[in-house]
Amino acid sequence: MNYNGKTVWITGASSGIGAELARQFAEEGAKVIISSHEAEELEETRKQLEPVSKDIHTVVFNLGNPEEVRSTAKKVLKEFGRVDVLMNNGGISQRAEAIDTSLEIDRRIMEIDYFSGVILTKALLPKMIENGYGHIGVTSSISGKFGFPLRSAYAAAKHALFGFYKSVWAENSKKGIRITIFSPGRIRTNISFHALKKDGEAHGVMDPGLAGGISPAKCARKMIRAMKRNRKDVLIGGKELILVWIHKHCKPLYHWLVNRVSAT
């Protein structure tokens, strides 16, 4: 698989994994569209990538606003004609117990982490099918594999991604549509800074576990390699991935461990 000449749209691309995906797709010769709600940070990312490629374009929009997501998808299709690869990477995390989290926060996280990608997928899928090719990369989380303290809404949204995208793949795999779902563990990004507390405010600190995680560059490299191999379900991370295996094969041990591991 070669991405030279392909049009790749990446959400959550102002920093972290998204910015590294943009860099590595650009290095392969792709036309890259980077998106975020943070206009200044997004433009700074574009400038940093100029030495790699001049074919990088910014599209600013808010994943938490469904109408804005719909109108942006139409705008991108009209302006660029096609999107060959959609990387649904944007999202927000959580640091609060379910009992303290209002439904408003639950819905906000679900809107950003789940529904925004669903809207973009439904908007772009018909054109992908018409073109006979489309690849949708989905950034879930190992929290999408099991429940975890302080992550109830986040884990719910990440679980939902699996049900939706596995169904989309089953319906469209014979039409040239590829789906790859990624479940990162601890990646050294600023996701914990922006995670929502029970009052809706940002967590504002780097979790120690994330600080010791793998780099966004390494994560992005593994993601693109997996897509080239047309893999469907990909775990990325370090020793924390053992929890996925334990949850699948040894439920009693998982239930014992989940109350003892650090939630950060």
Q: Which residue has the higher pLDDT, 133 or 189?
A: 133
Quick: pLDDT tens for 116-173: 999 999 999 999 999 999 999 999 999 999 998 999 999 999 999 999 999 999 999 9
d(C-alpha 229, C-alpha 88), whole Å = 18
Rounded distance between C-alpha atoms, residue 181 and residue 124, angstroms:
17
What average pLDDT does the chain have? 94
Residue 188 within any structural domain of the chain: yes
Provide the pLDDT for residue 78. 98
Asked whether residue 262 is assigned to any structural domain, the reply reads no
Mean pLDDT check: name the lowest of 32-41, 136-145, 171-180, 198-207. Answer: 198-207
Question: Does residue 35 fall inside a structural domain?
Answer: yes
Which residues are bridge partners to 9 per DSSP? 33, 86
| Element (DSSP H or E) covering residue 34 | strand 31-36
Number of domains forming the structure of the chain: 1
pLDDT of residue 189: 84
Decide if 39 is inside a domain: yes
Catalytic residue among 3, 114, 133, 154: 154
- Joined together, the tokens standing for residue 100 give 């303290």
% pLDDT > 90, the chain = 86
Is 114 catalytic? The answer is no
* pLDDT at residue 261 tops 80: no
Per residue in 214-234, pLDDT (tens digit) is: 999 999 999 999 999 999 999
* Residue 263 predicted with pLDDT over 70: no
263 is a domain residue: no
Does residue 160 lie within any of the structural domains?
Answer: yes
Q: What Cα–Cα distance (Å) separates residue 16 from each residue in 24, 90, 115, 155, 192? A: 13, 10, 22, 20, 12
Local confidence band at 73 (pLDDT 50, 70, 90 cut-offs): very high
Domain of residue 164, residue span = 7-257
Q: Using DSSP, state whether 161 is helix, strand or coil.
A: helix
Q: Distance (Å, rounded) from C-alpha 147 to C-alpha 30?
A: 37
Cα–chain center distance at 113: 8
Q: Is the pTM of this model over 0.85?
A: yes
In order of 8, 36, 45, 198, the CA distances from 19 in angstroms are 13, 10, 7, 28
Above pLDDT 70, what percent of the chain? 98
User: Does a structural domain hold residue 2?
Assistant: no
The CATH number for 34's domain is 3.40.50.720
